[in-house]
Structure 1
């Protein structure tokens, strides 16, 4: 089983790669080649940084967005988006203006607006992940978050888990062969490794 970990200059690549290996992955290819992604059995898109810059970097790799759409959307291979990699699954992001995303899960990535004035932005640190429906990848537990924007799904059935930060915040989205997590499994110790191991075994 080949797992493509996409290198588009916007992620904790080595930390994610090390966590995937610790979770049991053996054939990981860190790649910026569309052809490699098209041939992979599973795909992971990490990400740290601003939505627009990350989407621009991904789109700047020749053929990458087409390869992702073909491999993930058309052929249904398992996909995991992490942090900004999860946010890029949305229709659009509102960081530094409104910018289009991949449009895989209907919704918008909007700035956190906590109702509790003591809840600071960015949301940083350990928080509970509470599943809102059963999903084979996402158990209840505690994970590490670092973000100022969050996914607001148009369809409640795409919401897989929430956390609390001055109100309810999306922790994970899921649809068919797609899963995105706002938190960082590579920084979430045993919980994160369990989620990554679930992804490696997942047969959507």
Structure 2
């Protein structure tokens, strides 16, 4: 029996989870709590990484953590600066199945972790099972992007009718796109079990 689960996090950030193990190329954070994945991209040298930008990242992460109480499960914001290079953009998103309290705890924890792990990154993201937190020096809202990302690979070959499987996955993705776009928190999930 083939079983798979697809979860789309956000219209601008798609993730496909097929109940698989993470790829070895992903940086994994060992932490006391749940397992987190992170990506610190576009690391800067200290000379090009201003104190103002770092301060704006801290402010942004504080804003994200404090706005998680809005019960929407999604939030994005910008900390503008007099110098465009110091402006920072950020967002968080929680899964639909997480309670408001779990969402809040996750975003707070992810914000702490991202500041510890990505101290000189111009752009970074932390993923937990129920949420992600991201910041960047460029505006990424309402844009489809494939980076940064986490990739999960199935460690077993699919046994069955590949064409039929691909059709089911394609139909699910189309359904999820519509559901996520009309959902208040811009997320959707669906499971399929086929013999």
Q: TM-score normalised to the size of structure 2?
A: 0.26
Q: Relative contact order, CA 8 A, sep 6+: which one is greater?
A: 2
